Amino acid sequence: MERIVNSLRVRLIGVVLVILAALVPPLYLGVSAIVREGYAERFVNSLRAYSRLIADELEALDESDFDRHAVGVLDSAVLSGQVVFAEIRDGSRTLHSSIATPSVNAPPRDDFHFGDQGDKTYFITHTVNRADHSVALRLGFDEVPTREQIAAAERRVLLAMAAFVATSIAVAVWLSWVIARPMVRLQEAAQRVASGDTHAQLDVGSSIREVQEFNYHLEHMRRELVGANEHLSREIREREVSEQKRLDLERRLLHRERIATIGTLAGGVAHEFNNIMTPILLYSQLALEEAPADSALARDLVRVIAAAHRARSLVTRILTFSRVMDSQQPSVFPLRVPVEEALALLREIVPTNIEIVLAAPEEPLSVLGDASLVHQVVINLCTNAYEAMRGSGGRLAVTLAAVENPDEPHLRAGLYHVLQVSDTGHGMDQTVLAHIFEPFFTTREVGEGTGLGLSVVHGIVSSLGGVITVRSAVGSGTTFSVYLPAAAAAATPATAASVEA
């Protein structure tokens, strides 16, 4: 940028120089010509007048002794100083001044202009009328003094021109400096801001209006820049904080999910396991009763029974663990309570391009069971829903309703409280739908999900005495409907949970 400013100065001066170069020479030549012509004209005019004077003088001479008197006149003309050649031609006879040097080159022609013939002498011929005939008077005048005058005048003109040029250049230099200096300062200040020192104020204190305005706008821009910078930094920090929060919540959610999965698996496995343990324990104990006391057989069986007892207590501990980690005693609760809690958690982690809506009636819609299980169901279903809409955004709608005698297979007649979770995601085709509740079935990449989410949901819904159904179409979205037997305030589990095929 230094270069640009420099060239501004250079340009200004250059322009002035060009103008001067274009104007001054013709001006000088013009003025010189005028001066010269003025001098020449004056010279010629005066010479002409003088020759007329001499001619008149000669005409006034007496005819007698004309020659002698004529020479006298010629001599006086030469002596006056201007004349360097004087002659009277009378036919073939010539009379010269006795003083004038005949060596002066006297061409036969007359001069019409100053400087003619290049001989530094101006020749004039004048007719002199005598008594009976005319004679020619020829005078030669020295051009040199006039030439010297002309030269001096030209020098003066030259000097004036030079002074003019010098002054113009000086003014141009000063002007360019005056204009360029505030620009240099502004440019320096702008450079400072650009290199990071955004807090250096810009003020070049110039009196030129355009520069002042430029200064003002530049300063304004700088302030905006500083403000924008701070705003951005703040936003970045806030984003980082909320990103951290989101990651934390996701971790916690994943952890919960794993715990719940373990719990549900443990529950399912435990049941089967306990059934298997029953014959192991009972038959070992029977065999022990029939074994001879103190026999090796008896001792071996004692060990088997001890191991079976340990297995039993292990399963109990696992179940207790999963119960403690995850569930409470079954009770009657309004369906919306765990649903709202789950949605509150989800709102924190679901990206903003997914809209979450809950539609629930005024009535509590009570069900019997473990509220944290319903919480788990909502989390799992909503997680699947938002995964289906990740990237494209969409709507996740959770609806609660009471349905009398729902038109679903596997459901007895009666009042049910329904939880529906719908998404506007990519949907699933028939082949996927067929396997959707199977444990370890997943359409996700390895490491992205255990494939247990929906099987857990299915298990929980079953354990609550309900049924889960799914409707889906590729491209339009999916709806899961969880039907749970409605609980009256003080219903016993038996009436709430009886199911007949």
Query: Residues interacting with other proteins, by CB under 8 A?
Result: 263-264, 267-272, 274-275, 277-283, 285-286, 289, 308, 312, 315-316, 319, 322-323, 327, 329-330, 368-370, 410, 437-439, 455, 458-460, 462-465, 467, 492-494, 497-501
> Side chain identity at 286, as an amino acid letter?
L
> What CA–CA distance (Å, rounded) separates 378 from 83?
134
Q: Where are the alpha helices (DSSP H) in 61-143?
A: 66-80
Closest distance of CB 257 from other proteins, Å: 16
Closest distance of CB 386 from other proteins, Å: 25
Which residues make Cβ contacts (< 8 Å) with residue 237, sequence separation at least 6?
A: none
Would you say 191 or 278 has its CB closer to other proteins? 278
> Side chain identity at 429, as an amino acid letter?
D
Would you say 9 or 458 has its CB closer to other proteins? 458
Closest distance of CB 270 from other proteins, Å: 4
Pairing, β 83-90 against β 134-142 = antiparallel
SS3 492: coil
Closest distance of CB 306 from other proteins, Å: 12
> Side chain identity at 90, as an amino acid letter?
D
Pairing, β 354-359 against β 83-90 = unpaired
Q: Where are the alpha helices (DSSP H) in 291-350?
A: 296-326, 336-349
Q: Which residue has the tokens 């729902």?
A: 406
Would you say 427 or 466 has its CB closer to other proteins? 466
Would you say 473 or 499 has its CB closer to other proteins? 499
Sequence length of the chain is 501
**Which token pair is 92?**
């073939």
Closest distance of CB 491 from other proteins, Å: 11
Closest distance of CB 360 from other proteins, Å: 24
Closest distance of CB 326 from other proteins, Å: 10
Closest distance of CB 293 from other proteins, Å: 16
Would you say 212 or 285 has its CB closer to other proteins? 285
Would you say 202 or 368 has its CB closer to other proteins? 368
| Cβ proximity of 348 and 379 under 8 Å | no
Closest distance of CB 342 from other proteins, Å: 19
> What CA–CA distance (Å, rounded) separates 358 from 420?
10
Q: Using the 8-state DSSP alphabet, how is residue 25 labeled?
A: H
Would you say 165 or 432 has its CB closer to other proteins? 432
Would you say 396 or 482 has its CB closer to other proteins? 482
Which residues make Cβ contacts (< 8 Å) with residue 147, sequence separation at least 6?
A: 115, 120
Would you say 272 or 407 has its CB closer to other proteins? 272
Closest CA to 343 of 366, 361, 359: 359
**What separation in angstroms does the CA of 89 have from each of 59, 66, 127?**
14, 13, 10
> What CA–CA distance (Å, rounded) separates 14 from 166?
14
